[in-house]
């Protein structure tokens, strides 16, 4: 009877060990069938100014891991413009809401303390989150202002200097009486960087 108890105890211990080890298996990497297949023309761009390459790479990898668990939906091309300035482009496109989330995430990167300035650019499409048809076809700049206290939003200024707050908990963009920052054209054309030397993070 005592032997039976020992065998049962050993079985329980082995089962527990197997369960723990299974939880530590490395996350499977996306296979060819999970990757976007077609390059998609778009003008979405993010500039990271005042950061180290290793930190930008780490922040992008963490962001991608949050969204790519069931398949690759975020695939970013990281191009080094200088030792502390980087451009992020999206050869396979990225949805407008994820672009906004990425601007916010890079402003408040998990586990990284940096003084980097983050700006994004895109042309608003009719079906884009928070806008639907409103402001469609206009170029816009995305950013988180220095006096932000909420940490779960981005601000947007259209090319004709109409300002909005995009609160991630709301369905509609909140118009502002005046933009937080005036619109500025993107310093680079995103399309010109799609094939530039850099690395892809997914």
pLDDT tens digits, 136-153: 999 999 999 999 999 999
In angstroms, rounded to a whole number, what is the distance separating the alpha carbons of residues 49 and 51?
Answer: 6
Q: What does the pLDDT look like over 36-59, one tens digit per residue?
A: 567 888 999 999 999 999 999 999
Cβ within 8 Å of residue 131, ≥6 positions away: 96, 124, 173
32: pLDDT confidence band, cut at 50, 70 and 90? very low
pTM: 0.80
Average pLDDT of the chain?
83
Q: Which of 30-34, 47-51, 71-75, 111-115 has the lowest mean pLDDT?
A: 30-34
- As a whole-number percent, the residues of the chain with pLDDT over 90 amount to 61
Q: What are phi and psi of 155, to 5 degrees?
A: -110, 155
Q: What is the mean pLDDT of residues 3-19?
A: 47
């Amino acid at each position: 009877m005592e032997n039976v108890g020992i065998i049962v105890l050993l079985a329980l211990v082995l089962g527990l060990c197997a369960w723990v080890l299974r939880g530590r298996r490395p996350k499977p990497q996306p296979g060819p069938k999970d990757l976007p297949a077609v390059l998609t023309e778009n003008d979405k761009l993010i500039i990271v100014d005042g950061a180290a390459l290793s930190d930008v790479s780490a922040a992008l990898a963490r962001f991608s891991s949050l969204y790519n668990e069931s398949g690759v939906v975020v695939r970013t091309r990281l191009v080094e413009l200088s030792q502390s300035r980087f451009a992020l482009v999206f050869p396979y496109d990225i949805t407008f809401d994820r672009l906004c989330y990425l601007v916010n995430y890079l402003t408040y990167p998990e586990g990284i303390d940096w003084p980097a300035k983050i700006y994004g650019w895109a042309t608003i499409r009719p079906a884009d989150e928070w806008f639907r048809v409103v402001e469609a076809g206009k170029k816009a700049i995305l950013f988180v202002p220095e006096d932000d206290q909420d940490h779960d939003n981005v601000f947007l200024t259209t090319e004709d200097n109409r300002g909005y707050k995009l609160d991630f908990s709301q369905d509609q963009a909140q118009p502002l009486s005046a933009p937080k920052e005036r619109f500025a054209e993107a310093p680079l054309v995103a399309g010109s960087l799609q094939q530039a030397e850099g690395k892809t993070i997914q």
